[in-house]
A and B are shown apart, each in its own frame.
Chain A
Amino acid sequence: MLALGAMVVVGLVVASFSGGAQLFVVPLKLCLGLGLCALLCLPSLYVFSSVAGAGQSVRETALALAMGVALIGVLLVALAPVTWLFSQSTDDPLVMGALHVVALVVSATVGVRLVAKVMHALNGRTIAGIRGWGIMFIVVMLQMTTTLRPLVGPFDGVVPPERMFFLEHWAAPAGGDARR
């Protein structure tokens, strides 16, 4: 609930750049996106940690992941005033998109570290492989930002017009008007 509440706040700040329908759509998209990321990566977190010798249950793994996701939300809310400040002083969606991505990667890195610490506490020892899993989690989050585009730019429908990998999307920002 904390993560969802935080994402609503972050969504409002992100959408404040474009305004209009985005103020309603972006918070929903961010809540949905973060939840989907967690759901997609939960099986691999459980199996990777089990293979590394961890003994926690699926429920405990889900709780550890939920704690990490909640921390990501809280950190994004903490960074929201900074990003809002920039959103008021620039009208370039590329700059804003890059800023949000940096904030997301920093928050996700700290969130993954919390997941690793919770796993350590649950098992009484460091569980190998969580960092590798964390990289995958961050990549999935970055892909989700492309899947749910546009987040920063003006409203262009709920579903994006074409499928695209996030690196592909970043590589052609000028042609695609950076609808991140």
Chain B
Amino acid sequence: MSAGLVRGVLALESSLIDRVASGRGLGKVLATATTVLALGCAAYGMAMGLWRSPLQSLSAGLKLPALFLATAALTAGLDVVLCGLLRARIRPAQALTASVLAMAILGSVLGSLAPVAAFVSTQASPPQGAASLPTSHWLLTAHVVVLGVAGIIAVSRLRGLLDALIPDTAIARRVLWAWMVTHGVVGAQMSWVLRPFVGNPTLPVRVLRSRPWEGSFFEAVFDMTVARMGPVGPLVIVMLLLGVVVVVASHLDPPIEAFEITPQHIALRRRGARAGFEVPLSSICDVSRESAGVRIHWIMPGRLERSTELLRLASQEEARAAFERIAWASGARRGYRAPS
């Protein structure tokens, strides 16, 4: 594990992205990322448990890296399958490396915050039975916020990495959201199984609860919302989640910002994308005009799925000109549909 590679992981340098994109030497990258993840999470875990007792600190220092490593291991197969289903066209090793690299960034952020977390843990009122429950809840909330911030940073870096690996930004975003959901669900349940991390001051210090597999994180959230907000609590949570899903869905497919017709392809680039992607003219099976836009449909050779994309233009005249150029270039005049 070289210092240069560690720095490359932290900064997600372009040389490292190129290495992942080319698929060369991924084993070394994976090993470095896993080490960074384990060390960073161990440091933060120790800081989390420091408030309760040295044993809790040691236990959380082992459990926090275990949580993330287990999440990575349990979701590895699903990550690869999702890439295939979403047509990401990246190799399993690349998908796994990208996923672990994002977690390594999360681990490095957590590790860097460990001294501050340890300082706060040693300065909070010491655990003294039930009287210290508010302090333990406060500390736990603060740690959850820190984990959330570290997760957001990691996801933003993963987004850049996926954009570099997957030419079509829309597919890259679908993969990103799919991974976030799977990692979030599995990670939340793993945190339930491996609890406690901060430690309950009314219970004796233990590495794991007496029945760690009993119940689930989501049942606990359900019970808590019912207890705090009454029977409408879960409904409120579901409505909030649905709102998030709607917002996410509306941002999954950024529109095509530019296109260029070459002798063999149409090069398309989405808004906000670092790079474009190409559609072979020979694979275009239908072209139609829609008001101030042109819709193209294509089927890649050897594939079953039909893809479609709407090119938005500034005016109907521009749309008519673009339609003529694409239809002529692709020979797909049979797909012509006059605008209503």
Contacts and interface: CB of A to CB of B under 8 A. Distances in A.
Interface of A: 39-41, 43-44, 46-48, 50-51, 53-55, 129, 132, 136, 140, 143, 146-147, 162-165, 168
Contact of A168 (B7, B10, B116, B125): B125
B11 A48 contact: no
A43 B118 CA distance: 13
Contact of B122 (A41, A43, A162, A163): A163
A48 B152 CA distance: 13
A129 B125 CA distance: 30
| Smallest CB-CB A-B distances: 6 pairs | A47-B112, A44-B112, A43-B112, A50-B10, A40-B115, A50-B11
17 contacts: A40-B115, A40-B119, A43-B112, A43-B115, A44-B116, A46-B112, A47-B111, A50-B7, A50-B10, A51-B10, A51-B109, A51-B157, A53-B11, A129-B153, A163-B124, A163-B126, A164-B125
A162 B125 CA distance: 7
B2 to A, nearest CB: 15
Interface in B137-193: 138, 149, 153, 157
B123 interface: yes
B108 interface: yes
Contacts of A39: 115
B33 interface: no
Given A46-B112, A51-B157, A163 B125 contact: yes
B111 A48 contact: no
B207 to A, nearest CB: 25
Contacts of B60: none
Interface of B: 7, 10-12, 105, 108-109, 111-116, 119-120, 122-126, 135, 138, 149, 153, 157
A168 B11 CA distance: 37
- Of the candidates A39, A53, A162, the one having the most CB atoms from chain B within 10 angstroms of its own CB is A53
Contacts of B157: 51
Nearest to B119: A40
Consensus secondary structure, chain B interface:
helix
A51 B123 contact: no
Contacts of B109: 44, 47-48, 51
Given A39-B115, A50-B11, 6 more contacts: A43-B112, A47-B109, A50-B10, A51-B10, A51-B157, A143-B119
A162 B12 CA distance: 43
Contact of B10 (A40, A47, A146): A47
A129 B111 CA distance: 17
Given A53-B11, A55-B11, A146 B123 contact: yes
Contacts of B116: 40-41, 44, 136, 140
Contacts of B124: 163-165
A147 B119 CA distance: 10
A162 B124 CA distance: 9
B11 A54 contact: yes
Contact of A165 (B111, B114, B123): B123
Contact of B123 (A43, A55, A136, A143): A143
A93 B123 CA distance: 22
A166 B338 CA distance: 70
Nearest to A53: B11
Nearest to A147: B123
A48 B112 contact: yes
B108 to A, nearest CB: 5
Nearest to B7: A50
Contacts of A132: 149
Contacts of B112: 43-44, 46-48
A25 B108 CA distance: 37
Contacts of A48: 109, 112
A146 B124 CA distance: 11
- Of the candidates A39, A162, A165, the one having the most CB atoms from chain B within 10 angstroms of its own CB is A165
Contacts of A41: 115-116
A51 B122 contact: no
B105 A51 contact: yes
A147 B116 CA distance: 13
B119 A140 contact: yes
Nearest to B139: A165
Contacts of A165: 120, 123-125, 135, 138
Contacts of B126: 163
A46 B126 CA distance: 31
A162 B132 CA distance: 14
Contacts of B114: 43
